[in-house]
Amino acid sequence: MEYKAPLETYTGRVKEVTLGKGADALKIGGGNILPLHYFEGSVVNRPVVALEVNDNGAAGWAEWVVEPYKDVVSDPVKWARKCLSLGADLICLHLDSTDPQGSNRSAMEAAAMVKKVRSEVDVPLIVYGSGDDKKDVEVLTAVAEACKGENLLLGPAVKENYEAIARAVAENGHCIIAQTPIDLNLEKELNVKLLKQLPPERIVIDPLSSALGYGMEYSFTIMERTRQIGVVFGDVAMQMPIIADLGAECWKTNQARADREQGMHWESITAMSLLLAGADLLVVRHPDNCRLLKEAIEGKI
């Protein structure tokens, strides 16, 4: 007698979020299955992988992760183009230079630079502020206005500043990154608040990504539970796609910085784990790991 594995079906569905516009647009989410369970339901959009570009150069990066970009790290536009040539589905631009405790670049300078990068690449753009609650409102508002209609993915929006950032996102035609510190209750609370200003199709969840050996199991659990609550139990406040911005967390660890091969494994294992947990969009630093993830997503390994 032939054995047929039981198949699960679910009532919930992840919202489909469109990033970018026109021919450059890319969609994430939209499925009604658990991560990589392609055999159980509709596969609307498979996960995608972004490579990170930092407007502050590669200061502090391990030499082996800088090596593929060593000739372009001083120019975000050239760096972004290089990432595309190395296989990135989209670009994640970190505006670390706007940090008040660092270079403290102005919001207008940052916005002009983001606009230039967007004009030079034919893929959607993710833009993260420095993580300073007050400065991010200025920076992300300026970026939203300068790139009006480009449908960028902007963040992080956190409980201390989400209203102002969501307003700028809504008024200028972008999507928002809702970031909370590895806590399901806080995640849902922020999502519920954002839903009063934005449709769910413009929200992406960032539950924070920890590195292997540094709390990755907590990130895994939160992403896994987020997907289960949204798809299995049909909670509309938890049905947004998930972004895992993990590159920086992995490459700052002592283990990744000590040895190239070990660093590559540190990032790839973390990324593969969070992919299995439910991430729809992964941000890594090394192009070899970008290619590895894309092969895994396409079922080639």
Query: Can you tell me the distance from the alpha carbon of 249 to that of 253, in angstroms, rounded to the nearest whole number?
Result: 7
As a whole number, mean pLDDT of residues 57-80 equals: 95
pTM confidence score: 0.96
Query: Which domains, ranges and CATH numbers included, belong to the chain?
Result: 17-297 (3.20.20.20)
**Which residues, other chains included, contact 75 with Cβ-Cβ below 8 Å and sequence gap of 6+?**
none
Higher pLDDT, 299 or 10: 10
Which whole-number Å values give the CA distances from 213 to 180, 210, 256, in the listed order? 20, 8, 11
Tell me the per-residue pLDDT of 15-24, one tens digit each, with 9 for 90 and over: 999 999 999 9
Token pair of 215, please?
């709390």
Tell me the per-residue pLDDT of 136-188, one tens digit each, with 9 for 90 and over: 999 999 999 999 999 999 999 999 999 999 999 999 999 999 999 999 999 99
The pLDDT-based confidence of 301 (bands split at 50, 70, 90) is low
Query: Can you tell me the distance from the alpha carbon of 218 to that of 225, in angstroms, rounded to the nearest whole number?
Result: 11
pLDDT over 90 at 37, yes or no: no
Tell me the per-residue pLDDT of 81-123, one tens digit each, with 9 for 90 and over: 999 999 999 999 999 999 999 999 999 999 999 999 999 999 9
pLDDT over 90 at 211, yes or no: yes
pLDDT at res. 294: 96
As a whole number, mean pLDDT of residues 282-292 equals: 98
Residues of the chain above pLDDT 70, percent: 100
